[in-house]
A and B are shown apart, each in its own frame.
Chain A
């Protein structure tokens, strides 16, 4: 049943008793052409684009718990594409373009809100980096501009643009097309749309082994039995190394806790997204009214979906440095996710040394914004058995050749 105002009205009159399931809950078949391991946003998007763009139908998404329950449910919902390096910018921009039509494409309102993202600069070097990034973004066809403290003051009244701040704000980059989306809806929307194209979404089905013969993948072992497959795509943020081990692979990935939190719901007080690398804080306000705030990555490796309170303290110190009037607001709920961090802060969307086995991982803190683009590129890689030119730079090989896409380094170091 199409989601529309008309159908909302019609069903309302019938006391909402006729809405169908958003997605089926089938038993797993014994064989699939493609199995996607991981029912997060990326995995569901991969399945959707495999079906939609590549005509495959016999696809399963295996999720060990509930779909969209990993980092899809645990991020700060920021979507932007203003990355420095061309390779990264074009991949994220592909994603941005998909975001722009996603609600209609999926017939599910993912509430993509292009309210703009400001990246603040506090030092002369920050401003050089911003100039460099904005200049590159513009040439790459992304919208990007530099704004002054005066413009910031007007756009974001609560922001402390005073020159007497500990780290005064010297300016910012602005991507107006960037913004936020409703994270849960992204998983549900992709699930519903993929399901409509025949994809089996199988929850509570944990993959416990990846079967291979003659260096070719043949299927997976799961908590719900053995399933054969011609191709297996793994996209399990947080547990990529664990799945890689099942296939005898090692990845250049470290799993870290990443925490975020929300305030109580408030009347609109922040109409855009503000990020500051220098003081390590980023914040936006959800449509419900909660301030959504991200903390820095906890330093140690951890799969516990929780981090240290000191990290939260530091994040709030940063937020109060940026917004002194937020000090009396209250932390309502904090949570942690597991992020897979690559040495160059860029993802891996790649074939592997095992034929028919593909990995999509290492998104670090940048996964949510990439959801549609990641799925789109991964679907292409799996269907054609070769990467699309957009994700070719993000192969596993780059760690041996040294062709890293160093978004880490781009954040600059010494001086």
Chain B
């Protein structure tokens, strides 16, 4: 039975009954309800417990400002923690639970902390838990276990999300009266308009009030406006869409909530969509938040914002109380009294702190026989888990707010609902995010937008316009101004007619005095969620935390899930009082995204899981997969790591692959190497500046090993360069360096040497590269119809030529990274698989063996070839790597000057050596540090580290490559590899070239 549900009225559908559960109990609500309105309809007031003191808490607001009614929705992988009951749309089968309270929210053992609250004042944890030091982890566990709200899911998110980019002329945030009016104005002019509102329905406050516009009910006017907008193709309406971020250059982010309100679904459609909007003009019309009043025990369930009460009555057909007291310092709450009266509740009194009372509305209220007590305040509430009564007292401000109220004056009024209004604060969040200033209005007693830095304008209650006609007018003006800015024709839309009323101005009342001083009286809450009270702010000031940021951080004011939407302004005003300064001087804190909490998944979009980063596969990948290759991740690439034969492990496979390559022929997919085509009259001049060697001396058809340095003189990348023509070169780079080297060349060419006539083309994906290495590699190529002579005399080592293999045009390079006779074959990627298969086929006669990156690493390590990024780390010069011979003396090249810096000339630099374990059996882990003194204590001096280490199949014992201090001069010496278990393995320093030092095999 929905005991608080009204018989008629509201925007809910009473014929559609929805079943839901809260804390395990079954309830019913109606289609159109929020969880909060459904709970109130069922008379459920106690929703949760507060963060620190475990005080009973109920629903305060009706939207994003709600600090108390925070619940967990559902369970399992799709559970949602920390949901605002005021923003959760009710659906059939909804299952919600309170987040705090053990064993139950009604009886919460943790509420014992409330008794000790005087010892738990702001910042108490900074002053204790320090001794004994060892116990901190124990204290911390207690703190962590008692903190936190909801429970994170433990399984992967079953839903998915998407990003959508949009451009528009006018983006309107908020579809209340101002937003709708702006949209109508802009739509008429043909502008591309996006209007977004976080609620399920457009209309904003008009859905909660009983106003008339153009002589019709405001809700009818809203329907008409939506209808009009829907007829414009140039207008995109986004309900359930929160504008949560305003970034530079009018980039605005909107989270559209697509499925949560549907309840159980199969996760087959997008749950939330992130709109990334670049708007020419933004109109901010998000409205305003009503402020609570600050008095003792103002946090009891049944104390609600007056506007929220009106919303529940008018929009949801729920009357949240039978006997109601209204407490306000301004006129707007009188509407709540009228709404409650119309709903059949008994309004026991309207308590108005102002001696003057209200304007026209007061007469209306009094005409209904409702008592209005001006010059009075509510100073305390009574009750336990729901409000039972309020204590009121006479009140007047003579110069300053009185410090305390006389106890004998207190009058108690029984009630089950207190509707309060402390005035309104414009939602300036997005304006502030955009970089706009906000200033304190002494007239309106709130922060208002003041000056923009981007193309945006605020309108309506968000701009401090409280009255409906002002909102409509500002919306209209904003819409027209936006149109004018966009250079479109302004429509002649007229301002709708509304009835104005006389109001009295608000009385600033930031805290209501009690019969005792704030630090002795029952708590007067500023921030409900974090239990920040007036006494806490007072204590912070007393302790010297004076800046508003210090106070906020010290007291946790505004750090809850509601981000201080309710409490911050009251908190700042109280701070100003204790500092003895005007509020304007206290300033405000910067509002940061997100306006309301936004799902990680929404921000991430579709770029998650296997789409997190593109996977690059070579043209031959499917063959490798079929062959059972294990793959290694290298940048975005997947490269065959090794090809196990049966259940071979890495070591066995590598041994087999290496030996086969040394003995007969191995084949490897080297397609991931970066490849750059360089052409142009100034190609030589350009490459001379990039590479260290004499590029100009290279003959056409010849290859050279080339290195390039950063301007700091450190090795940047290496590869083979081939001269294909007088003005035509072909460069290879490392796999990981492909993109960065291309960018590096472009950078210099475009920014420093634009006079050079050179053209660069990345051909990495265009050509696949197949490397065939081993003594029988030449015969293998000949066996698949090579059309040119491959003899050493005709096609010598370090040269290149075009050819056809199996009738496929290819370019052959006689280069070797294994030390064996080898050919690298470049073939158009479309033909790569065909060629690979032909080679494998023909290779059967030569014991051909495919090998992966691990064997490639071993083979080159046996030859002492460097792998940039494994053996180097950005702090290695060519000299360190025995490559001084590659540094041309008669030209400048990038990085050359740095090689003369004192540090580059140090004799004890770490230099490239080979190492062999003295016992010839221990394989040392790559990365292991080298030491000389095995008896030294920490910090133990390190003389180098092992960058590559393998059990060499060819040599029959382990080998390692290392960077060793002064290594160039230390052949034959002994150093120690320091193992994780504390042991030190003696290693003998050798040349880094372990195999075929004369290089006869590769030149064969």
Contact = CB atoms under 8 A, between A and B. Distances in A.
A contacting B, Cβ–Cβ less than 8 Å: yes
B1001 to A, nearest CB: 26
Interface stretch (A6-14, A356-364, A365-373): A6-14
A10 B600 CA distance: 45
Interface in B87-145: 116, 118-119, 121, 124-131, 133, 136-137, 140, 143-145
A327 interface: yes
Interface stretch (A40-48, A212-220, A222-230, A405-413): A405-413
B884 interface: no
A306 interface: yes
A269 B607 CA distance: 24
A145 B938 CA distance: 16
Nearest to B903: A402
B62 interface: no
A242 interface: no
A163 to B, nearest CB: 11
Given A124-B632, A266-B82, A66 B127 contact: no
A8 B980 contact: no
B140 A113 contact: yes
Contacts of B903: 398, 401-404
B399 interface: no
Contacts of A158: 152, 154
Given A15-B519, A317-B607, A402-B898, A330 B156 contact: no
B597 A330 contact: yes
B874 A66 contact: no
Given A128-B926, A132-B945, A403-B903, A167 B633 contact: yes
Contact of A109 (B129, B928, B978): B129
A264 B82 contact: yes
Nearest to B246: A309
B594 A331 contact: yes
Interface string B583-621: 000000000111001111101110111111101000000
Contacts of A267: 145, 148-152
B396 interface: no
Interface stretch (B176-184, B322-330, B733-741): B733-741
Contact of A327 (B543, B604, B904): B604
B928 A16 contact: no
B902 interface: yes
A408 B874 contact: yes
A321 B81 contact: no
B874 A109 contact: no
B119 A8 contact: yes
B85 interface: no
Nearest to B81: A266
A317 B608 CA distance: 6
Nearest to B245: A309
Interface string A11-35: 0110111011111110000000000
B128 A5 contact: yes
A409 B554 CA distance: 40
Interface stretch (A51-59, A136-144, A378-386): A136-144
B902 A16 contact: no
Contacts of A412: 869-870, 873-874
B720 interface: no
Contact of B156 (A7, A268, A325): A325
B717 interface: yes
B130 A107 contact: yes
| Residue of B125, B159, B161, B633 contacting most chain A CB atoms (<10 Å) | B633
B901 interface: yes
A326 B874 CA distance: 36
B245 A66 contact: no
A289 B550 CA distance: 20
| Residue of B607, B736, B868, B927 contacting most chain A CB atoms (<10 Å) | B927
Given A12-B121, A324-B157, A325-B153, A184 B553 contact: yes
Interface in A291-305: 304
B147 A409 contact: no
A25 B579 CA distance: 13
A8 B79 CA distance: 40
Contacts of B133: 101, 103-104
Contacts of B875: 404, 406, 409-410
A265 B938 contact: no
Given A3-B128, A185-B126, A166 B609 contact: yes
Interface in B731-784: 733-737, 740
B995 interface: no
A288 B148 contact: yes
Contacts of B150: 264, 266-267
A316 interface: yes
B609 A328 contact: no
Given A7-B127, A139-B931, A141-B939, A415 B635 contact: yes
Interface in A69-85: 69, 73
A139 B593 contact: no
A319 to B, nearest CB: 7
B519 A414 contact: no
Contacts of A141: 938-940
Interface string A324-365: 111111111111000000010000000000000000000000
A287 B140 contact: yes
A319 B601 CA distance: 10
B157 A325 contact: yes
A95 interface: no
Contacts of A25: 544, 546
A415 B535 CA distance: 61
B926 A131 contact: yes
Nearest to B902: A401
| Residue of B125, B131, B610, B874 contacting most chain A CB atoms (<10 Å) | B874
A309 B544 contact: no
A130 interface: yes
Contact of B561 (A4, A184, A264, A404): A264
Nearest to A20: B543
B871 to A, nearest CB: 10
Given A19-B539, A73-B549, A414-B869, A331 B938 contact: no
Contacts of B705: none
A414 B737 contact: yes
Contacts of A343: 712
B78 interface: yes
Interface string B517-560: 00110000000000000010001001111110110011000011
Contact of A66 (B152, B547, B609, B870): B547
A114 B251 CA distance: 40
B592 A111 contact: no
Contact of A69 (B136, B549, B598): B549
Contacts of B931: 139
Contacts of B945: 132, 135-136
B82 A327 contact: no
A408 B938 CA distance: 25
Given A166-B613, A409-B875, A103 B597 contact: no
Given A73-B549, A268-B145, A402-B901, A320 B601 contact: yes
Interface of A: 3-5, 7-9, 12-13, 15-17, 19-25, 65-69, 73, 86, 90, 101, 103-104, 107-109, 111-114, 122-125, 127-136, 138-141, 145-146, 157-158, 160, 166-168, 182, 184-185, 188-189, 203, 263-269, 279, 285, 287-289, 304, 306, 308-309, 312-313, 316-321, 324-335, 343, 398, 400-404, 406, 408-410, 412-415
11 contacts: A113-B136, A124-B632, A132-B945, A140-B938, A141-B938, A184-B554, A289-B144, A327-B159, A332-B561, A400-B901, A415-B634
Given A306-B248, A401-B901, A412-B874, 20 more contacts: A4-B131, A15-B520, A17-B542, A22-B545, A25-B544, A67-B550, A109-B130, A125-B870, A132-B927, A139-B942, A184-B553, A266-B81, A288-B148, A320-B612, A328-B80, A328-B159, A331-B603, A402-B903, A413-B874, A414-B740
Q: Which 5 A-B pairs have the closest CB atoms?
A: A409-B874, A289-B148, A141-B938, A131-B927, A132-B927
